[in-house]
Amino acid sequence: MLLAEGLPTPLAGTVSTIMGDDFKLEFSLDPKNQLRQIRYSLVFYLGAVGGLIYFLVMHEVVGLYIAVGFFILIIPQVLIHLQYFLNDRKLQITVNHSAKQLIIYDRTNEVLRYDDIERIF
């Protein structure tokens, strides 16, 4: 059996390819990719902290408006990331191309056959 792991995926996880009797792809959540999303939003975090520091040093209300504006943009993003992480941290999806099925390992081990899927957008 040939096993290739660590390939990056657009699902913010790693993929394992198992070659043998079946052709399987396994997807799971990778915490390192979760931290990458925070790095992309660093400008917003710096804007909020910079506005707050400007308000505290200069005592001008404009700095407070800037900080609150950036925090309004940051808080929903952090909450959504946290919610998805908590829901999907133990999720593993296996795509078995040979048996033409998807297996979702979470609270229940749900098996979907390709014939059950009407269409994928």
Q: Which two tokens stand for residue 41?
A: 């939003």
Which residues have C-beta within 8 Å of that of residue 80, sequence separation ≥ 6? none
Mean pLDDT by 10 residues, the chain (121 residues): 43 54 77 75 88 92 92 88 83 84 80 78 63
- Among all chains, which residue has been given the structure tokens 């198992």? 18
Look at residue 7 in the predicted model and tell me its pLDDT: 44
Cut 0.75: pTM above it = no
Helix %, strand %, coil % of the chain (to 5) = 50, 30, 25
Where in the chain are the domains? 1-33+90-121, 41-89
CB 33 within 8 A of CB 12: yes
